[in-house]
Amino acid sequence: MTATPARFATWSQESAVALLAETSTGPGPVLLSLQAVQDRFGYVPAEAVSLIADACNVSRADVHGVLTFYTDLRTSPPPDVPVRLCAAEACQSVGGRELKRDWERRCGESAELAEATGADEPVFCLGNCALAPAALVGGVLVGRATVEKVESMVHGSRQESP
Ligand code: FES
């Protein structure tokens, strides 16, 4: 299993229970609770599903259903600097496919870069079509993305990390 990046808290059941006590007030806050856990720990561990189910008074299947419906919710720790390349039409029309191909080639050349950024999880429109191709690098929106620009941002982001 990948280690949790330093910007996130290390998973602990006690910390999650306290967090859920804050976020699960009111009816049906399953999605809010999942997001809160992911914001705190970087992902939603399997152990959190039953905690959220209890806190929200729903079944574990209900929580699992929400967790697996939204692709932005993760069930494993994220890489240090996740890179997501837009795969939607506007970006494809100005080189998005070529960017993805070249990015994969670059990650194939550098195991360190591949490990730091993880596998590209396609995203469909980042709302930045006018500056396509677009990417998210460690959660930061990038316009007119190139392999060089993305890689530079990855290295810059890693140097800023504690
Ligand atoms: S299609 Fe890529 S940002 Fe909109």
Cβ neighbours for 143, distance < 8 A, ≥ 6 positions apart: 128, 130, 131, 132, 134
**What average pLDDT score do residues 141-146 get?**
97
**pLDDT (tens digit, 9 = 90+) per residue, 101-117?**
999 999 999 999 999 99
**What average pLDDT score do residues 47-51 get?**
95
Q: What is the Cα–Cα distance from 161 to 42, expressed in whole angstroms?
A: 15
The Å distance, Cα 129 to ligand 1 centre, comes to 4
Is ligand 1 within 6 A of the CB of residue 128? yes
Determine the pLDDT at residue 105.
96
Q: What is the pTM of this model?
A: 0.73
Is ligand 1 within 6 A of the CB of residue 134? yes
Which residue would you say has higher pLDDT here, 135 or 20? 135
